[in-house]
Amino acid sequence: MATKPPPPIEEFPPDSLEKLAYHVVSDILTQEPNDRNRLGYNVWAWLKDHRGTLQDAVKNSGSRTYLPVEQIYDLIKKRLEEKGVAVD
């Protein structure tokens, strides 16, 4: 039985919201890698729609991190502001 190789992975463009969201959470220590992915997804969803607050997005992600939610929020907010994204 022959199988085809999987399709190549397409990276997001460097200036996309997806790349930005996952970049600002890339080095946050989480219990499992999927927790970081979930955090990145929630930041991306907030960047896309601006529903609620960024703090709500971080809290609602349910990511298990080694830092309190407030510290994670402050860190992400600072990184977004450095990239020119207004948070409040």
14-66 tens-digit pLDDT: 888 999 999 999 999 999 989 999 999 999 999 999 889 999 999 999 999 99
Query: pLDDT band at 13, cuts 50/70/90?
Result: confident
Decide if 88 contacts 52 (C-beta within 8 A): no
CA distance 41 to 21: 7
Q: Decide if pLDDT at 12 tops 70.
A: yes
The dihedrals phi and psi of 30, each to the nearest 5 degrees, come to -125, 165
Question: In the numeric block, which tokens belong to residue 12?
Answer: 């997001």
Q: Decide if pLDDT at 88 tops 80.
A: no
Question: In the numeric block, which tokens belong to residue 70?
Answer: 């407030």
Give the per-residue pLDDT at 1.
63
Question: In the numeric block, which tokens belong to residue 39?
Answer: 């955090």
